[in-house]
Structure 1
Amino acid sequence: MAVRGLTKIFGDAPEEALELLRQGETKQSILERTGQTVGVADASFDVYEGEILVVMGLSGSGKSSLIRCLNRLNEPTSGEILIDGQDIVGLGHRDLLEVRRRKFGMVFQHFALFPHRTIQQNVEYGLEIQGVSPAERAEKAQTALSQVGLDGWADAHPGQLSGGMQQRVGLARALAVEPDVLLMDEAFSALDPLIRRDMQQELIALQSRMQKTIVFITHDLDEALFLGNRIVLMKDARIEQIGTAEDILSSPATAYVERFVAEVDKTKVLTASAVMRRARTVAFVSDGPRTVLRKMEDEDLSLLFVVESNFRLRGVVRDDAALKAVQRGERGIQGIIEPGTEAVGLDTPVRELFAPLSESSMPAPVVDAEGRLKGMVLRASLLQGLAEQGTAPEQEEAA
Structure 2
Amino acid sequence: MRKLILTEPKISSDEELNIAYQIIWSIEHKKLNDAILLLDRLSEGRQFPQSWIQATKYALKNEDWSVLSEGFIKKEFIGTDGYFLLIAPHQLSSDKCEVIKLSAILGKVMSIDCVPLKDIEEQALNIFGKLLQPITEIIPITCVFACNRFYGENSEAFILPESWMIPGSLEGPVINNMARHRQRFHQVVRRNIPRIFEPDTANLLLDSLADETIGLQRQHIEYQYHDAGHATGLGIKRKIQDNLLSTYWFAGIEEWRADSVEFELAIRTLPNAEVGKLIAANFCLRFGIDAQRWGGYDYDTHATSSLFNLEYLFRSSALCIKKDKLALRNPDYQSLVKAIEMQRAEAVSITREELSLEHPTGILGCYHSIQVHHSTKEIFRKFIVGASEDMQEN
Same fold (TM over 0.5): no
Of structures 1 and 2, the one scoring higher in RCO (CA 8 A, sep 6+) is 1
Q: TM-score, normalised by structure 1?
A: 0.28
The structure with the largest helix share of the pair is 2
The structure with the largest strand share of the pair is 1
Q: Is the radius of gyration larger for structure 1 or structure 2?
A: 1
